[in-house]
Amino acid sequence: MKGKEYSLVDLLLDESFIQWVYGGDTKMWKHWENPDSEGIQQIEKAKSIILAQQFREVSIPDEKVDQIKLAIEKNIALKEKKTRPFKIISFNTWMGRAAIITLLIASVSLIYYTFSNSLLEPVHSESIANTFIEKKTANGQKLSINLGDGTIVKLNAGSKLIFPEVFESDKREVFLEGEAFFKVKRDESKPFILTSGNIKTTVLGTSFNVKAYKIDKTVEVALISGKVSLQRTNTATIETPVILEPNEMLVYNKVGRKSEKINFDPAKILAWKRKILLFENAGFDEVIERIERWYGVTFINSYKGPIEKEFSGAYENKSIKAVMEGVSFAYGFKFEIKDKVVIIK
């Protein structure tokens, strides 16, 4: 509609305009060819009004999600006059972590899976008509995902999780690129198998953190509670799987193809989950890269001064400006933040 004048409110209500705003198209909104400067102002104003409609969310506590589900199951059982004692009992023991750990240790049913040479190839799975869901986070974004079985995954920035719409009858298989924290719902009949950058983690019910960014040289699996069994997926020989106990972490070096088991401090590994950006003797490159990921920005660096220093700091729920003040002071550079770009000089 060339030349048609839209009032501000017209724009706000126009479906195609709204789609254009959300679509993040960089081209000018096509329904108004060659808008004059006033028109452009109008478009920008309408766009910012639409994007500003973000409201405070009331989030449901994780435990509540399960409690309500349990109540639903109980009610259904009552109404259908069938009792399923086994299912209800297994929910209860999942709530009590101590019981779970003893059961896991006592049970001999940790299931091992032989390697597979493929890495992230879920779409070539031979399951019949099983569609996969892919959830991605951009830099600067975090996402909480509930899988169909009650497992909760907290996806960190710049990460991707792929899982089937409906789990198969004998296993729960998911694929991760990036970093995520898993709280796996216990189900003995369906072991939970996570593949992430050459490491296959098999669990029954537990919580652990996996760091497998493509760009990193290592894959890290840190166990918080329960027990997991880990195996490499890229070897031709069948290896004995590594078993992790709580507070143990496996660091697998992708280059050297070696792994080592170390102890870790849960507070440090899970800092990201509590919205704390933590640096501990980090090199300049690591600092920059992690800030890019955390806040979803890009750096332009023309600083010629020394950068050998190691940087340490912890930022809880702070703006990027606050973090940059700290970093710039440590390294002695000046910085400027423009939109999503940070300039260092």
Partner 1 sequence: MIGSNSDQMLWDSFRKGNKDAFNQIYYNHIATLYNYGAKFTNNTTLIEDCIQELFTDLWVKRTRIRSTSHIKPYLYKSIKRRLLRQLSKEKKNVEITDYQEFSIEYSPEDQLISQQNAELSSTKLNDMLQKLTAKQKEVIFLKYFERLSNQEIAEIMEVDVKAIYKLLHRAFERLKDLPFVLLLILQNYSR
**According to the binding rule CB under 8 A, does residue 5 interact with partner 1?**
no
**According to the binding rule CB under 8 A, does residue 189 interact with partner 1?**
no
**According to the binding rule CB under 8 A, does residue 15 interact with partner 1?**
yes
- Nearest distance, CB of residue 221 and partner 1, angstroms: 24
- Residues 6+ positions from 230 with CB-CB distance below 8 Å: 199, 200, 201, 202, 221, 241, 242, 243, 244, 250
Interactions with partner 1, residue window 190-229 (CB under 8 A)? none
Closest to 268 in 3D by CA, of 199, 332, 222: 222
Interactions with partner 1, residue window 87-146 (CB under 8 A)? 131, 140, 144, 146
**According to the binding rule CB under 8 A, does residue 22 interact with partner 1?**
yes
Q: Which of 16, 41, 75, 107 binds partner 1 (CB under 8 A)?
A: 75
- Give the residues across from 279 on adjacent strands: 313
**According to the binding rule CB under 8 A, does residue 51 interact with partner 1?**
yes
**According to the binding rule CB under 8 A, does residue 285 interact with partner 1?**
no
Cα dihedral across residues 10, 15, 20, 21: positive or negative: positive
- Nearest distance, CB of residue 204 and partner 1, angstroms: 18
Measured distance CA(208)–CA(224) in Å, rounded: 5
**According to the binding rule CB under 8 A, does residue 40 interact with partner 1?**
no
Measured distance CA(123)–CA(136) in Å, rounded: 16
- Nearest distance, CB of residue 315 and partner 1, angstroms: 10
**According to the binding rule CB under 8 A, does residue 170 interact with partner 1?**
no
- Nearest distance, CB of residue 73 and partner 1, angstroms: 9
Nearer to partner 1 (CB atom), residue 56 or residue 304: 56
For the residues of 220-266, what is the DSSP string, one character each?
EEEEEES-EEEEESS-SSPPPPEEE-TTEEEEEETTTTEEEEEE--H
SS3 sequence of 85-119: HHHHHHHHHHHCHHHHHHHHHHCCCCCCCCCCCCC
DSSP state of 178: E
Amino acid identity of residue 198, one-letter, is N
Nearer to partner 1 (CB atom), residue 23 or residue 332: 23
Q: How many residues bind partner 1 (CB under 8 A)?
A: 48
- Nearest distance, CB of residue 151 and partner 1, angstroms: 9
326 close to 314: Cβ distance less than 8 angstroms: no
**According to the binding rule CB under 8 A, does residue 38 interact with partner 1?**
no
**According to the binding rule CB under 8 A, does residue 37 interact with partner 1?**
no
Closest to 271 in 3D by CA, of 309, 307, 312, 314: 314
Interactions with partner 1, residue window 306-335 (CB under 8 A)? 317, 319-321
When computed from its CA atoms, the radius of gyration of the chain, rounded to whole angstroms, is: 24
Nearer to partner 1 (CB atom), residue 27 or residue 79: 79
Measured distance CA(8)–CA(46) in Å, rounded: 6
**According to the binding rule CB under 8 A, does residue 55 interact with partner 1?**
yes
Nearer to partner 1 (CB atom), residue 28 or residue 70: 70
139 close to 157: Cβ distance less than 8 angstroms: yes
Measured distance CA(240)–CA(260) in Å, rounded: 14
**According to the binding rule CB under 8 A, does residue 52 interact with partner 1?**
yes
- Nearest distance, CB of residue 186 and partner 1, angstroms: 15
Closest to 179 in 3D by CA, of 153, 151, 201: 153
**According to the binding rule CB under 8 A, does residue 53 interact with partner 1?**
yes
**According to the binding rule CB under 8 A, does residue 34 interact with partner 1?**
no
**According to the binding rule CB under 8 A, does residue 148 interact with partner 1?**
yes
DSSP state of 332: T
Nearer to partner 1 (CB atom), residue 291 or residue 344: 291
- Count Cβ atoms below 10 Å from residue 42 Cβ, excluding itself: 19
For binding to partner 1 (CB under 8 A), which residues are involved?
8-9, 12-13, 15, 18, 22, 45, 48-60, 64-65, 67-69, 71-72, 75-76, 79-80, 131, 140, 144, 146-150, 165-167, 295, 317, 319-321
